[in-house]
Amino acid sequence: MHVVALCSQKGGSGKTTLSGHLAVQAELAGHGPVALMDTDPQGSLAAWWNERSSTAPVFASTTLAQLPGDIERLRLEGCRLVVIDTPPAINMAIQRVINVADLVIIPTRPSPHDLRAVAGTVEMVERAHGAMVFVVNAANLRAKITADAVIALSQHGTVAPAFIQQRVDFATSMIDGRTVCEIDPEGRSASEIRLLWDYLAGQLERRDRLRVFQQPTILGFGRRTALEGAQA
């Protein structure tokens, strides 16, 4: 099971919208069962999920104190992906979520205010020795500030090659508990979400391969012991 957290100290970066969209796309791509968790006191993601007619992805209620135990429970129940939305500015809450995440996604709008807020989130990920990916959100691909933002973010870490552009349908789709992938599967917005999820899924698979590769060598596995050599 993978745990993905969307974190940013800056409000309005698009964490909740991306959390819902990525969770739904993961289900559509066959990477479920997927569970959503909302650690933001405002409860925007929970409110969105309550408007959904579909029960997938599922929603798992939690608290910061219960978070590790609730994640383990989902693992035992066969969940394959947990997507966690986090509050802005509440550093203690963000750090606790980062500590249990396999991958931290940092949505960042191409604006000076968002870029200034990145450093604090990066520090928390580094403190947890975690992995992170920047997602350029609400972008105008023709604007110079978007290219400047990518360059600035790349100084801190990996930037997802799939950008999410500024479009009204991302916000309007959330009104009734759906996503752009469900409302207009062939649209440009849905295509951007698919490309982003495919990239993130690849990053998670890459981390799995590295984790297996870095496992300590067990005596007798992958090499011959002295006894086996003598018997040969």
Q: Where are the domains of the chain?
A: 2-231
Is the pLDDT score of 93 beyond 50?
A: yes
Rounded to an integer, the average pLDDT of 82-91 is 92
**Burial readout 191-227 (b: 16 or more C-beta within 10 A, e: otherwise):** ebbbbbbeebbebbeeeeeeeeeeeeeeeeeeeeeee
pLDDT at 208: 85
Rounded to an integer, the average pLDDT of 129-152 is 95
pLDDT at 212: 60
- Confidence band, pLDDT 50/70/90 cuts, at residue 218: very low
Is the pLDDT score of 224 beyond 70?
A: no
Q: What percent of the chain has pLDDT over 90?
A: 84
Is the pLDDT score of 169 beyond 90?
A: yes
More confidently predicted of 44 and 232: 44
**CATH topology for the 2-231 domain:** Rossmann fold (3.40.50)
CB atoms within 10 A of CB 27: 19
- Confidence band, pLDDT 50/70/90 cuts, at residue 60: very high
Is the pLDDT score of 229 beyond 80?
A: no
